[in-house]
Every structure is written in structure tokens, then in C-alpha cells.
A and B are shown apart, each in its own frame.
Chain A
Amino acid sequence: MNYVIIFLLISGLVFFTGGSIGILRLPDFYTRLHPAGKLDTAGQFFTMSAIALFVLQDFSLANFLTATKIVLIVIFVYITSPTATHAIVDAGMRAGLKPWTKEGQL
């Protein structure tokens, strides 16, 4: 059981690492939203499920309620993270921000 938890935790941290490097290195505002929207959500899912499994190892009612709250946080993030990403893209489109192209021209 511990190996499953460690595997989920490390895979979530790998997703977080990829998202952070993508935010740092991608050339444009719209392309930077791609790791910010997806990889943070995936990393949050894996690390939160690892922590919920670790909490559920000694089973009692209080630990079950704590794991339920962690699952609720994951469901909340799965609803709100695409909404926030869409709101930022909408703000960029309305402000007239041009997408990046390879030659530096449109």
C-alpha cells in the first residue's frame, strides 16, 4: 500500500514539475495557459489521491470524513480550474493580445 502511495505522490510531483517548466519556458501567453490549466489539475489529482489513501490507512469515521473532504477539493478544482483558464483567455482575447507565430509576424 505504501508503494502505491509513493508512486501516486511522485507522479503528481512530476506533473507539477512539467507544468512549472512549461509556464517558465513557453513563448506566448496563450501557450503558457496550456500547462497551467492541465498539468496543475492532473498533479493535484494524483497528489490529493495519494494523501487521501494515506489518511484512509487507519480507518475511522474522522479519517473517512477527512478523505471525503480531500475528494471534494479535487472535484472543486476540476470544476474551477478550466473556468479560471477560460476567463484568462477571454480577458486576453478582449484586450487584443495577438498569438505567437514562428516568424514573429502575423
Chain B
Amino acid sequence: MIETLSREAAIIGIGSTEMRNPDGRSGMSLYMEAIKNAMEEAELTKSDIDGFLVYPPNGSMRFHTELTEQLGSANFGKSLCDFPLVGGLMVGLAVNKARSAVFHDQCKNVIVVGGGTWRSSSHRTPIGLSGVDLSESIYHSREPISMEYEFPYGLHLPALAAMVTQRHMQEFGTTSEQLAAIAVAARKHAALNERALLRTPISVDDVLSSRMIAEPLHLLDCSYIADGASAFIVTSAERARDAVQEPVWILGSGQAQSFQHMGHLCRGSDSEFDLVRTVGKIAAGQAFTQAGLGPEDVDVAELNDSFTTTVLLQLEDYGFCAKGEAGDFVADGRLELGGALPLNTHGGLLSEGDNGLGNSIPALIEAVTQLRGDAGERQVEGAEVAMVSGVSESLSSYSVALLGRN
């Protein structure tokens, strides 16, 4: 067993919906299915759940009471309801908060749930600008974009990531072929995951010949928009010992924020943080310190891959390789099953699907599955430590959780 400092709380249940929503169900409907699946797996009843950390699928600041209505009939004494409204970076924050709540006896069992209807509720344009395989919503997500100083220039999320990528290429000589290797690995893993939406294997050439979205990012460098919800349940160390499922321990977590407007990180190389030297370094550093572990201890990494670039930055800033060397690091199948650092073994946002708000939870679900040894054909043999991350859409803010096998 690995030696670690921190085993205060554990994940004892996971649940998901499909990543598709052909019947146009509401976000609430998807959430309740994911929650039910997690509770049934953990053999918990409505009265066992007394904490919620939720991303309101309908944007309602009353969502916690709507949720309590549905799960409160046996016991309205829910003592934690909160909204980790930090976009793609939700997972580490939620893990941290849930861990604290059960450790301090504020709650017995906390459910974290997120997801949404990003694809089915997207705005489709009449002339089909997006082509066939990418919904409009990634272009229409305005959350991180200033409507005063940025949107008037025609900015969308891929363009933001493209400008970060361009800078990485300029400073470190990173190539489009290297970025493509990240998408190829994700797709290879998705082929082994029935839940994944895109399962046909692709080559580096397929990525490079896919439509240019914003130079240097191609269509297949961008996440694939989906619908769906996922949930997990956190409980205290004491309760985890009696859990039905093999508990997966929370070993550490961390988070760090930086810019809202990306101009603030367009600095010189004399600055510690800029567009390509992210505060992910702080988030991962906190998690590793709490866990008493380092990058070399991570057996499987389920990292946010909103764009291929997002993975590239994290590999460097989390310490898996030196700054500027991720392009070389991802070559030769290192991120693929059987490689030195299997990454996004479920296919990630690039190939399993990107369900929008709370899109970092599916990565945690996969990490738990791997640590339980339940990943079937895509199992990483002997996986004891997994890293999970969430990253904001603008690649500016990061959260990390380290999970460990029982």
C-alpha cells in the first residue's frame, strides 16, 4: 500500500447518465438519474444524504432547494448545500469541500453532481457554420469572455486556447503533430469505453487534416460537446470502512485561480506565471504536499482536456515533465494504455464527451473506476494513485485531486 499523509475521507459511490440525451430531458432529470445510480451503488437511502455540492443545470440559485425537495422526503435535515460555481475547475474544489464537511461532522454523506445539456440546448445557426460534428455551444459559451472588451473582436473559446497554444509553440517549438498525439491517445481509449461518443480510432494525420478552427487548433484538438450528468458520494473515513463499495481515498486536493481577462497573463518570461506557465503548478503542489506524494507516484491521470493544449500545459505545470518539454513527453505513446503515464483512459472531453458545467466529474468517475480495478479492457494494471483535474474554459484556473486505492 502507498504511504500517504491524508485519508480523512473517501468516495463510496459513483453514478452517471449516458453522454447523450436524444429525448431532450432536462438537466434536473439527468442529475436525478446520476444521483440515483450513485446512491444505489453505495446502498444509501434518501435519509443518508445530508450534503449537496451542485452545479445548477438550469442556472437557478434555488436549485439546492429543488434538489432537497426530491431527496428530502425522508429527512429534510440537509446541512450542506453549496454551489461550486467555478466552471470547469469544479472537481477539485468540490472534493476539498466535501472532504472537509465529512471530516468535521458537518455531514455524513455529501453528493457532488454536475453536468448539463450543453449539446441539446446549444444555439444552432441557420447556415451550419460548425460543420457536422461539433455543436455550436463551444463557440457560444460566453462565461469566460468579456462582452465589453473581448467578444466584439469575434472571440470564442477555441480562439482563446489557440492564442495560448501559439505562444507555447513560439517559446518551446511545440508542433501540431505533438498536440495531435494527445487526441489520438484519447480516442484510442474511448474505443474501449462504451460510454464514449467518439470511438473510431484516429491518426495524427486525421487530426491535422480536420478542419482548422482557430490556428493552430483543428476540430479534433477541441472537446466534443455532449449532454449528461455524473455524481459521486463522499463520506468520512470511519463510515467508509463499512461502505458497500471499496472506498477510494481522497489523498489531496488543491486549486488556484488567475485571470479573467487574458491580457493580465501576457507577461515576459521573467514572470512566474503567464499564458504558458499556469497556476496549475500551485494547485498540483498543494495536492501533492497534502498527499505526501509526487508526480512519479501517479499511476493514471484523468486530466481536463477541453483542448489538446490544456493537457500539454498541465503535464508541465503538474511536474510530469519540465516546462516546455510536454511536446516531446506526449510522443511515443507515453499517454496511452501501456505507456508510462496512461492519461484519460475513458477518452476524456475530446472523445468521451464534454457535458459542460461540471465536466470534470466524469474524469473523477473514471479515476474511481480505475482504482477499484473495475475498468475492464482499459484497466491500468496495479493502479494505486490517480490524479484528476478540472480546468476553467479559458485555461486560467486549475483544480487537482489525488485519489488512492483502498
Do A and B originate from a single complex?
no
Interface residues of B (CB under 8 A from A): none
